[in-house]
Amino acid sequence: MKHVCLALLCLVFSACTTFENPIVADGGPALDEALVGHWSAVKDDSRVDIVITRNGAEGKLAFTGIEPGKEPETGDLRLVTARIERHDFGSVQELGTGSRSWRFFRYELAAPDTLTIYSDSGSFWADAVDNRQVTGKVEGTNVRSVVVTASSEELRAIVQGYGAVIFSDEPLVEFRKE
């Protein structure tokens, strides 16, 4: 099993699918107030701390990943959340790098102190672009890189219709509130 900081960094930085727009609810970009605070995850000797704060209508997520024998990895992300039907989704974008790409995840809050993150399926998005369900482009054959250019409204409609199959049923990482 992956270390938690590798899992979080994988979600944010190395997903094969990137998006030009976040998933937003009908009311536009927002932040789930229940996420505000300090969260941490520990697996073996690795640890990831995230601090989520409000930044206007959206959020800012600052993370630190610590693995034994390595320098801590840190970063800041723009965070937008959306509740669509019965599920909660997050969209993150790196701050300060000039990157305009978004990454998606589904999350669950179990009680007020447990945050579980689920990754999205790159193969779903590649198929959705290939089948013209969403606009975008697919590059490569063995390792396919997908850039989805659909608007936030189009993404919301796809997530409403296919949310159950877009995101993994297996948790990527589980955080506890500090």
Q: What is the tens place of the pLDDT at every residue in 162-177?
A: 877 898 888 888 999 9
Tokens of 90: 């997050």
Q: Count up the domains in the chain and report the number.
A: 1
Domain with 26 in it: 4-177
> Looking at the predicted structure, is the pLDDT value of residue 3 above 70?
no
Q: What is the pLDDT of residues 18-43, one digit of tens each?
A: 899 999 988 888 999 999 999 999 88
Whole-structure pTM value: 0.87
Share of the chain above pLDDT 70, in %: 88
Distances in Å between the alpha carbon of 89 and those of 19, 24, 49, 108? 14, 9, 20, 9
> Looking at the predicted structure, is the pLDDT value of residue 7 above 70?
no
- Minimal CA–CA distance to 65: which of 39, 97, 99? 39
Q: What is the mean pLDDT of residues 57-66?
A: 92
Average pLDDT over the chain, rounded to whole? 86
